[in-house]
Amino acid sequence: MNGILYLCATPIGNLEDMTFRAIKILREVDLIAAEDTRRTLKLLNYFDIHTPLTRFDENCKENVGKKILERLLAGESVAIVSDAGLPAICDPGADLVRLAIDAGIKICPIPGANAALSALICSGLDTKQFFFVGFPPRTQKNRRELLQKLSKIDATIIFYEAPHRLKKFLAELAEIFGERQVVLARELTKVHEEFLRGKISALAEKISEPLGEFVVLVEGKTFSEQISLPNENISDVVQKFMDSGLDKKSAMREAAKKFNVSRREIYSAIKH
Ligand code: SAM
């Protein structure tokens, strides 16, 4: 019988976000494969877990991946953990998952903390449709090309970015996305957790020396951008309904029906 490959979440800051199940599985498996063994060892010591640990990162993922696969095929169970959050989300693990699937090995998620979704649910932006990018490309040309494509998407866009690149990245976002709403989710689950909300250019100016880790969320293409109607037309329609005796809320509801969109989208269109 093959073993099981567990993808085990670890906290993104607050150790209390470690789940009971994660602790149990990490104690029970034959091997833990970790991105940074020193960092993971601290976590394991904190939770009194004494399972053997091996390094599994970008540099050694091919060699170690093969050895892990052999052990799984020999019936041992293995857990992958990353430095923080869910393995295989902008972290090593995804390649091993594919190898294991091809070899017929069972994969089992041990869910828990994740920076992107924690940021999204607190952002106030659309949570029905969202597009996770992760880290934008390093080269300016590739990054700008991607941002151009993303600027056409009608969904909240979620980026990871390193603090020292944030200011430049926000300036590019402002240039390519225009005056959209952006949310910076900083130091999630940690002491200095903070959500900065505002228009892209305003936040880009405000950020000086950001400390800690960030998730950047950008509002999707707004209704007024999508229908290529000038905003005044939408305002005109709302105004017409108001002139006919409706209060503003009802007028926006009627305009939303007319354009077959939500009232939130009408509100956002007439705000711009
Ligand atoms: N696997 C992780 C997950 O599930 O969220 C993501 C790891 S990725 C290598 C690291 C990036 O995630 C950081 O650069 C930052 O953008 C984001 N991140 C991780 N922890 C965070 C936190 N506590 N607050 C805000 N962003 C965080």
Q: In what order do the strands lie in the sheet with 194-199?
A: 130-134, 156-161, 214-218, 181-186, 194-199
pLDDT tens for 24-74 read 999 999 999 999 999 999 999 999 999 999 999 888 888 999 999 999 999
pTM value > 0.85: no
Backbone φ and ψ for 3, nearest 5 degrees, come out as -85, -175
pLDDT tens digits for range 110-153 = 999 999 999 999 999 999 999 999 999 999 999 999 999 999 99
Residues 163-192 have a mean pLDDT of: 93
* Joined tokens for residue 128: 């029905």
Query: Around 266, how many Cα atoms within 13 Å sit in the side-chain half-sphere?
Result: 23
Q: How far is the CA of 115 from the centre of ligand 1 (A)?
A: 5
Quick one: which of 138, 133, 18 has its CA closest to 84?
A: 18
Atom of ligand 1 nearest to the CA of 117: 5
Res 243: pLDDT = 86
CA distances from 1 to 8, 249, 260 (A): 21, 63, 55
Q: What is the pLDDT of residues 196-254, one digit of tens each?
A: 999 998 888 888 766 799 999 999 987 656 655 555 678 888 888 888 888 988 888 88
* Residues within 6 Å of ligand 1 by CB: 12-13, 82, 84-86, 89-91, 114-116, 160-162, 185, 187-190, 213-215
Lowest-confidence pick of 61-65, 80-84, 100-104: 61-65
Token pair of 29 as six digits: 């498996």
Judge residue 104's burial from the number of C-beta atoms within 10 Å of its C-beta, 0-12 exposed, 13-18 middle, 19 or more buried: exposed
Burial class (CB in 10 A: 0-12, 13-18, 19+), 263: middle
Mean pLDDT of 256-260: 79
- CB-based contact 113:84 (threshold 8 Å): yes
